[in-house]
């Protein structure tokens, strides 16, 4: 008490411009500014990634190199980085203000005469990403359903971290929810008998977290959203076409009483 009074009096006597702040008390009603964790790929090599993320308008809290697999912090977690852009998830928008971004050095894809070719992630790099995600989740208490890809929060506009990113490894590490395989098989058999209409798919995508039209039409935005969902949970085929397996995955993931993070 005497020390605080001394500091206050000293500030008054010296005309100090910085006010004394008493930090004795802490409110119970608070949590971390970081509510979401967003994963990206850079689409370019490490030197170019570093230049873009440190000298341009786009930024990210972390950059994970591929060779050697090294984690670089570029923005303090308490500050906003510009990595998400126009974004949405379960009613939240403009996620730059409430998220931590991780950029992963990966070329993403190349367009070839035979179609788009995607690039794998080295396992050593993924090990670093998982370790970093665990650290961030522990420190900020980020919920499993809020660990997302750029394609989740901006389908159609963004496709990173792409169909080669091993989301299942994050699920196996207990970081994100994943549908039970037996439950998916059972629901797939059910939906194969009678495929739900487009309105059902839109309702389930909305329930899962996406911003999606609710017009009952298989328009481009709905197809882009379906593709983003498939790219994460069924990486062998992500054509944006509603089918029995996609319906089963959606059904399982939105049945909150039937699925929990591992």
* Active centre residues (catalytic): 103
Quick one: tokens of 37?
Answer: 């964790």
Spell out the alpha helix ranges (H) of the chain.
2-14, 46-55, 123-140, 150-153, 167-172, 181-193, 198-208, 220-233, 244-253
- What are the C-alpha distances in Å from 250 to residues 148, 165, 182, 256? 16, 20, 14, 11
Distance CA 161, CA 107 (A): 10
Quick one: tokens of 258?
Answer: 């039937």
Quick one: tokens of 13?
Answer: 């006597």
Q: How far apart are the first and last CA of the chain?
A: 49
How are the residues of the chain apportioned to helix, strand and coil, as percentages rounded to the nearest 5? 40, 15, 45
Quick one: tokens of 126?
Answer: 């993924």
- In sequence order, what are the beta bridge partners of 219? none
Distance CA 120, CA 131 (A): 19
What phi-psi label fits residue 92: left (phi over 0), alpha (psi between -120 and 50 degrees) or beta?
beta
Q: How many residues comprise the chain?
A: 262
Indicate the DSSP class of residue 242.
-
């Amino acid at each position: 008490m005497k020390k605080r009074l001394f500091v206050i009096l000293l500030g008054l006597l010296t005309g100090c411009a910085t006010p004394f702040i008493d930090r004795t008390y802490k409110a119970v009603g608070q949590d971390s500014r970081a509510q979401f964790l967003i994963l990206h790929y850079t689409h370019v090599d490490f030197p170019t990634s570093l230049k873009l993320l440190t000298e341009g308008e786009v930024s990210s809290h972390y950059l994970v190199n591929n060779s050697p697999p090294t984690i670089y912090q570029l923005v303090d977690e308490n500050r906003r980085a510009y990595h998400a852009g126009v974004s949405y998830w379960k009613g939240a928008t403009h996620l730059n203000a409430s998220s931590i971004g991780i950029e992963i050095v990966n070329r993403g894809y190349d367009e070839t005469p035979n179609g788009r070719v995607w690039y794998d992630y080295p396992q050593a790099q993924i090990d670093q990403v998982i370790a970093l995600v665990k650290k961030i989740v522990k420190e900020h208490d980020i919920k499993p359903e809020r660990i997302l890809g750029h394609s989740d929060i901006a389908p159609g506009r963004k496709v990173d971290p792409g169909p080669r990113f091993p989301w299942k490894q994050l699920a196996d590490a207990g970081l994100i929810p994943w549908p039970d395989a037996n439950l998916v098989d059972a629901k797939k058999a059910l939906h194969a008998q009678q495929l739900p209409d487009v309105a059902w798919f839109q309702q389930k995508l909305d329930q899962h977290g996406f911003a999606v039209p609710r017009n009952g039409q298989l328009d481009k935005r709905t197809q882009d959203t379906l593709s983003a969902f498939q790219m994460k949970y069924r990486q062998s085929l992500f054509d944006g076409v509603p089918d029995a397996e996609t319906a089963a995955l959606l059904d399982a993931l939105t049945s909150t009483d039937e699925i929990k993070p591992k």
